[in-house]
Amino acid sequence: MAQLWGGRFTKETDQLVYNFNASISFDQKFYKQDIEGSIAHVTMLAKQGILTEQERDDIVDGLKSILTDVENGTLKITGEYEDIHSFVEANLIRRIGDTGKKLHTGRSRNDQVALDMRLYTREEVQAVDVLLKGLLQTLLKLMEENIDTYMPGFTHLQKAQPVTLAHHIGAYFEMFKRDRQRLSDIYRRMNYCPLGAGALAGTTYPLDREYTAKLLGFYGPTLNSMDSVSDRDYLIEFLAALSTIMMHLSRFCEEIIIWNSNEYRFVEIDDGYSTGSSIMPQKKNPDIAELVRGKTGRVYGALMSILTTMKGIPLAYNKDMQEDKELTFDAIDTVKGCIALFDGMAATMKFRKEVMEDSAKNGFTNATDAADYLVNHGVAFRDAHSIVGRLVLHCIDKGIALDDMSLEEYRSISPVFEEDIYEAISLRTCVEKRTTIGAPGQEAMKQVIDEEKKYLEAAIFGPWSAEPQNGRENDA
Ligand code: ARG
C-alpha cells in the first residue's frame, strides 16, 4: 500500500478498504495526461517563482523519464499505489529525490483528477469525431453510387413510397453529421482548465491559472474553484452524445438485419463481417450488426449511471465522483469499436439493386402518385384517394401491381385515366418528380451530395482549435 496521506493516521488501512478505495486499476488509463498536467503545473510554478528553474527542470526531466519508461514497458503500473497520481509522484521522488516532493505544491488531487479526466475526454471527443468523419465518407460514397437505386421507403415498416438507396442512406448521413456537431459543442463548453482550483477553494500561492490553461491548450481557466472540482457535466454531455450515436448506429443495424433477412434479401453482408452457426450449415448471421445494436444498452447504462451518481452530491468534491471513470472509459471504447466496425461492414456490404427495385414495384409504393395523377386531371384529392384505394383492392385480388393493370381495368374504375398513367406511376417518374431539396429525385439528391462533400472537405476535425465565439463562454 502506497498512500500520499499517511501522516494523520495511526494505523494501516484495512486491506479490503484499501482495495475498495483504490482507483489505479482504471485511472492508469490517463497516466499520460497526469504527467502532461504535472509538467504544465511545475512550469507555471517556476514562472511564478514558487519553484526554482533548477527544481522545475529536475521535475520535468523526471516526469518525462517516467512517461518514456511507462510507454516502453520498463516501468509497470502496479496495484501497490492507490491511484495514478500517487504512482507518478512516488516514482518521481524515487528518481529525483526530495525535489520530487515539491510537485504537489498548490495542487490537490481533486483539481488534478478533474484536469486528467478532462484532458483524456477532450482527446476522445476528437477521436470519436475522426471515426464519425470516416463513416460519413463511406456513406457519401454509397450515396453517390446509388442515386438511381430504387427501393421502397417505409412507414410503420410497410412499403409507403419509392425512394432511392442514396436517399435512405442520406438520412443517416444527416444523423451522424448532427452527432459531430454535438461533439464540437461539447468540446467548446468543456475546454476550460480546472487546475489551480486546489481541493475546492483555490490556493494561497500566486498561481497563474491563465498560463497553465494556455500551456495545456485550454481556452482559459474555469471560473469557480468549487465547480471546477465537482463538475462532471461534460461527461454527462459526452455520454449523451455517445448514446445518441449508438441509437443512430442501432437503428441502421436494425435495418441492415431486416434487409439481410431471407425474406428481404436487399443486402448481403460481406463474409468478413458475418458469422456462421455451429449447428446449421446454411446460416450466415449478421452478428456484427446485432452486437452494435446490443451494445447500445451498455452505453445508455453509462449515461444513466453517471446521472444517478451525480444527482445527490453536495459541493464540492466527493469520492462518489471516482465512479465517473470506468463507465466512461467503457462507453468510449465501445462506441469507437462500434463505429469502426459499422463503417467496415457498410463499406463492404453488397446491395441487391434488382431486389430492392422489384420490392418497390410490388408494394403499391406508387399509389400516392396514381392519386396525384387524378388530382392533376381535376379530381379532388379525397376522391382520388378513394379511387386508387379501389384500384389497389382490385390488384390485391388479382395478385398484380398497379403497373400491370390494363387501361380498360383502370377506366372501369375511373374514366379519367388515359394511356399516360403508366408513365406517371413508373418508379422512375415517382422518384424523379420529387425535386424539392431534401427529396429523393436525382437532381435534388445531387445538390445535397455536393453540399455534403463541401461540408466534409471543410470540417476536417471539427473546429477544435477555434476560440469560442463569445470570448469566455463561462461568462455568457
Ligand atoms: N481517485 C480519485 C478520483 O478519481 C482522485 C481524487 C481523490 N481525491 C480525494 N479527495 N480523495 O476521484
Instruction: Give the position, in ligand 1's atom list, of the atom nearest the Cα of 83.
Output: 1
DSSP 161: E
Q: 153: helix, coil or strand?
A: strand
Cα(162)–Cα(173) distance, rounded to whole angstroms? 19
- 357 CB under 6 A from ligand 1? no
Cβ proximity of 113 and 318 under 8 Å: no
Q: How far, in Å, from the CA of 205 to the mean position of ligand 1?
A: 22
Q: How far, in Å, from the CA of 114 to the mean position of ligand 1?
A: 9
Cα(325)–Cα(344) distance, rounded to whole angstroms? 29
In sequence order, the 6+-apart residues with CB closer than 8 A to the CB of 114 are 194, 195, 197, 228, 229, 231
Residue 466 has pLDDT above 80, yes or no: no
Identify the weakest region by mean pLDDT among 117-126, 192-201, 454-463. 454-463
| Residue 246: closest CA among 180, 302, 292, 290 | 292
- 113 CB under 6 A from ligand 1? yes
| Residue 353 exposure: Cα atoms within 13 Å on the Cβ side | 10
Q: What CATH number does the domain located at 359-455 have?
A: 1.10.40.30
Which residue owns the Cα nearest ligand 1 atom 10? 110
Q: How confident is the model at residue 463 (pLDDT cuts 50, 70, 90)?
A: low
Structural element, H or E, at residue 232: none
DSSP 160: E
Q: What is the pLDDT of residue 125?
A: 97
Model pTM score: 0.93
The C-alpha cell of 420 is what?
399516360
- 324 CB under 6 A from ligand 1? no
Instruction: Give the position, in ligand 1's atom list, of the atom nearest the Cα of 82.
Output: 1
Cα(291)–Cα(25) distance, rounded to whole angstroms? 27
Instruction: Give the position, in ligand 1's atom list, of the atom nearest the Cα of 324.
Output: 4
Ligand 1, pocket-test mutation among 322, 325, 327, 328, most atoms within 8 A of CB: 322
Q: How far, in Å, from the CA of 326 to the mean position of ligand 1?
A: 14
Q: How far, in Å, from the CA of 412 to the mean position of ligand 1?
A: 81
Residue 12 has pLDDT above 90, yes or no: no
* Marked catalytic residue, from 104, 108, 261, 277: 277
For residue 85, indicate whether it is catalytic: no
Q: Which residue has cell 467548446? A: 188
Q: What is the pLDDT of residue 311?
A: 98
If you average pLDDT over residues 98-123, what whole number do you get?
98
Q: What is the pLDDT of residue 475?
A: 45
Distance of CA 173 to the CA centre of its chain: 13
Query: What backbone phi and psi angles, to 5 degrees, belong to 401?
Result: -95, 165
Structural element, H or E, at residue 220: strand 220-221
In this chain, the answer to whether the domains covering 6-105 and 359-455 adopt an identical fold is no
If you average pLDDT over residues 428-434, what whole number do you get?
93
Fold classified for 110-202+220-352: Fumarase C; Chain A, domain 2 (1.20.200)
CA 367, 371, 374, 379 torsion-angle sign: positive
Q: How confident is the model at residue 470 (pLDDT cuts 50, 70, 90)?
A: very low
Q: What is the pLDDT of residue 82?
A: 95
For residue 277, indicate whether it is catalytic: yes
Cα(307)–Cα(301) distance, rounded to whole angstroms? 10
If you average pLDDT over residues 102-109, what whole number do you get?
98
| Residue 268 exposure: Cα atoms within 13 Å on the Cβ side | 9
| Residue 98: closest CA among 39, 130, 135, 51 | 51
Domain ranges of the chain: 6-105, 110-202+220-352, 359-455
Which residue owns the Cα nearest ligand 1 atom 12? 322
Q: How far, in Å, from the CA of 209 to the mean position of ligand 1?
A: 21
In sequence order, the 6+-apart residues with CB closer than 8 A to the CB of 474 are 192, 220, 222, 223
37-77 tens-digit pLDDT: 999 999 999 999 999 999 999 999 999 999 999 999 999 99
The amino acid sitting at 331 is: A
Residue 9 has pLDDT above 90, yes or no: no
Residue 114 has pLDDT above 50, yes or no: yes
Fold classified for 6-105: Fumarase C; Chain B, domain 1 (1.10.275)
| Residue 397 exposure: Cα atoms within 13 Å on the Cβ side | 8
- 83 CB under 6 A from ligand 1? yes
